[in-house]
């Protein structure tokens, strides 16, 4: 049976169609989910796509966190359903307390859009198993509220428990996509919950699934093939 992966659209979501296409290219059935509907249509996993839901009023993701669909997603995620939050989706996951910490305005106070080098820190989550730990990948990044912050206790817990999923790779020139683009603490680009079913990251893997768009590479496709393999073997 083909796995069904839902992609949520909020008012202001920009990358839902890209995420739906990435799901299809990976071999699963993409399912569009509307933010006002609590029914998840029997999907096996959910992607919270990027964009500027509700115009990022109050804080990025702060209003979307209270959308009816999130009530169901929060409950299902805590029961083990895989959830991926990309950019604004990551912000919604922190606002929902499915992931710890918060996203603040970039330290340089500017919107940034570039191809970004990442280092895979945890290749054992539901969304990262097709990567190798320490692997370097390149995916597009575009945000203005992308600075990940948390108190030292939370940061130490993330490190100790292996819950930093991705870091911004810093081993080269900024012109080549290296370096911390927004001042995120400890170069954190993405994290996971303790169970490994919920992952959030600021860069956009759905824009790196075909050689003719995005980075010109397919480094982001493994997010979507990883979850399909996880669902098939679950």
- Which residues are identified as catalytic? 87, 204, 206
CB proximity list for 222: less than 8 A, separation 6 or greater: 128, 130, 131, 137, 205
Q: Which residues of 138-150 are buried (b: 16+ CB within 10 A; e: fewer)?
A: bbbbbbbbbbbeb
CA distance 136 to 214: 17
3-state secondary structure of 234: coil
- Whether 42 and 81 have beta carbons less than 8 Å apart is answered as no
How many other CB atoms are found less than 10 A from the CB of residue 22?
29
CA distance 61 to 52: 8
């Amino acid at each position: 049976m083909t796995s069904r992966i839902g992609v949520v659209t909020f008012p202001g979501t920009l990358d839902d169609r890209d995420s739906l296409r990435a799901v299809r290219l990976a071999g699963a059935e993409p399912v569009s989910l509307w933010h006002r509907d609590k029914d998840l249509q029997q999907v096996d996993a959910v992607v919270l796509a990027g964009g500027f839901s509700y115009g990022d009023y109050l804080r990025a993701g702060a209003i979307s966190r209270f959308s009816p669909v999130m009530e169901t997603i929060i409950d299902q995620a805590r029961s083990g359903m895989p959830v991926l939050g990309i950019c604004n989706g990551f912000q919604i996951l922190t606002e929902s307390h499915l992931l710890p910490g918060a996203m603040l305005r970039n330290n340089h106070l500017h919107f940034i859009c570039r191809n970004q080098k990442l280092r895979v820190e945890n290749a054992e989550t539901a969304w990262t198993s097709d990567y190798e730990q320490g692997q370097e990948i390149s995916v597009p990044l575009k945000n203005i509220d992308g600075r990940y912050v948390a108190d030292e206790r939370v940061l130490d817990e993330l490190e100790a428990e292996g819950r930093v999923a991705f870091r911004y790779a810093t081993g080269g020139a900024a012109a080549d996509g290296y370096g911390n683009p927004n001042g995120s603490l400890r170069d954190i680009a993405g994290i996971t919950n303790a169970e490994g079913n919920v992952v959030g990251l600021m860069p956009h893997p759905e824009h790196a699934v075909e050689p003719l768009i995005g980075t010109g590479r397919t480094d982001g496709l493994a997010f979507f093939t990883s979850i399909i393999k996880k669902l098939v073997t679950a």
